[in-house]
Each structure stands twice: as C-alpha cells, then as structure tokens.
Amino acid sequence: MPDQEVLEQLRGGLVVSCQADLGSPLRDPLVISRLALAAERGGAVGLRIQGFDDLRAVKAVTALPLIGLTKTVRDDTEVYITPTTAEAVELAVLGADIVALDATGRPRPEPLEQMVEAIHQAGALVMADISTLAEAQAAAELGADIVSTTLSGYTPYSPEPTTPDWALMQALAAAGLPYVAEGRINTPADAAQALRHGATFVVVGTAITRPDVVTRWFAEALRA
C-alpha cells in the first residue's frame, strides 16, 4: 500500500487543475508546464494534470504532488476519466502521486476494484471521481484513498447545478468520508467555503487555467 503522506501535504490547500481541452490554443505540454509553474508561484500545493505528455512536462519542472488522469473518449462507454488499468498504471509510472479515475456507477470497461489494486501496486494513491454519495461509498469500500466531487453534474442522474455541489459535500462529511471538493469552484470564497464544509483539499481548474472560458463569462455578462 503506498504511503498516504501525500494527502497530508495537500490537506487544507489548493490544487490547481492545469488542463487544456481539445481545440484550446493552450493545448501544448510546454504551455501546461508554464501554467503549472504559475500555479505553484501563486501558492498551489498540488497540481491535477491530464495526459501522459502533460504529466511528463509538468513532472520535469516541479516537485509538487501530482494528480494524474487521462481523458479518453471511447465508443463503448461514457466513462472518460482514466477508463483503463493500462492508462492508470502508466500515469503512476510517469510519476503521478495520485491517479484520478471515474468511479461513477456507469458501465465501465474494467472493474474498479482491479484498477484500484493495480494503481496501488504501481505505487500511487487513488482519487475516485464520483457524482453521488452512493458512488463515493462504493469507491471507498473498494479501497479508493480519497473521493472527489469532480463528476457531480456530469452524470445523467446527478443534479446539474451551476454552483459547487454543497449538498453532496455535506452528505460526504456527514458520512465521515474524506473528500476533495472539485467542480465549479470558481471563486476564492467558494474554495474557502468548501474547506469549511469539511473538504480535505480543494481542486480548481477552469477559473484559474481556462482563460477562454473565463473570458466568455465576462463577454456574456456584457451582452446580457
């Protein structure tokens, strides 16, 4: 079983997700590594990084703890965050301290239990990206080291809020499940609120590293 120490390093802090979507002008490992350094300079205690090339590039410039994932769109499943064991193990081999994967209840290409075991054997911890309390409980039972509210609003059966999913955070805290607050945390006040709700740490992506999306928030406000 890998050391849980990295969770202590992240406790109470901000993890910045540095990802560029398909078509984004920022989709370049060098650019992502610079975003990561900017996040570190601003006080991030960890980084969430998508894809092998970006992970390699970021690992080369920082010693911060890294959460690795892949986003792989497949024909046979809706699950796209690190859908297979091979991808998960490669992320660990490339230096991800924590591997994030889809742990929703949707049909998946490979059993979650098998993936958790393989990631642990490869020396990394498992972050289970979930959308409901039941999914969080199932992932914890299968050995996930931490769950994250990442996929709330992104499964057909979870609410589609425009805010962070405070209700899910409250339910996780009440169930005594250690969790990460992630998804639509778009202001410093929301991030602080998430910690007050009991989150172990907070992940912010879009509001910090997707300037195209943030620009759209402003541009649309001017047109409203």
Give the one residue of 154, 161, 193, 195 binding ligand LRY; rule: CB under 6 A. 154
Min dist CB 3 to ligand LRY, Å, is: 24
Asked if 184 touches ligand LRY (CB under 6 A), the answer is yes
**What are the φ and ψ backbone dihedral angles of 195, each rounded to 5 degrees?**
-65, -40
Mention every residue, 6+ apart, whose C-beta is less than 8 A from residue 218. none
Instruction: Kindly report the number of other CB atoms within 10 A of residue 28's CB atom.
Output: 14
d(CA 8, CA 88): 22
Residue 88-127 contact track with ligand LRY, rule CB under 6 A, x = bound: ----------------------------------------
Segment contacting ligand LRY (CB under 6 A): 30-38, 51-59, 82-90, 204-212? 204-212
Q: Determine, following the binding rule CB under 6 A, whether residue 206 of this chain makes contact with ligand LRY.
A: yes
Integer Rg of the chain from CA: 16
Q: Using the 8-state DSSP alphabet, how is residue 151 labeled?
A: G
Binding string, residues 51-90; x marks residues near ligand LRY by CB under 6 A: ------------------x---------------------
The interface region with ligand LRY, picked from 8-16, 37-45, 54-62, 199-207 by CB under 6 A, is 199-207
Is 150 an interacting residue with respect to ligand LRY (CB under 6 A)? Answer: yes
Nearer to ligand LRY, 90 or 182 (CB): 182
The residue assigned the tokens 């690992």 is 59
How would you write 72-132 as a 3-class SS string?
CCCCCCCCCECCCHHHHHHHHHCCCCEEEEECCCCCCCCCHHHHHHHHHHCCCEEEEECCC
**Residue 185 binds ligand LRY, judged by CB under 6 A:** yes
29 is an interface residue for ligand LRY by CB under 6 A? no
Could you say which of 7, 14, 16, 17 contacts ligand LRY (CB under 6 A)? Answer: 17
Neighbours of 111 (CB within 10 A): 11
Q: Which residues contact 92 (CB under 8 A, 6 or more apart)?
A: 68, 99, 119, 122, 123, 124
Question: Which residues of the shown chain bind ligand LRY in the complex (CB under 6 A)?
Answer: 17, 19, 69, 150-151, 154, 182-185, 203-206
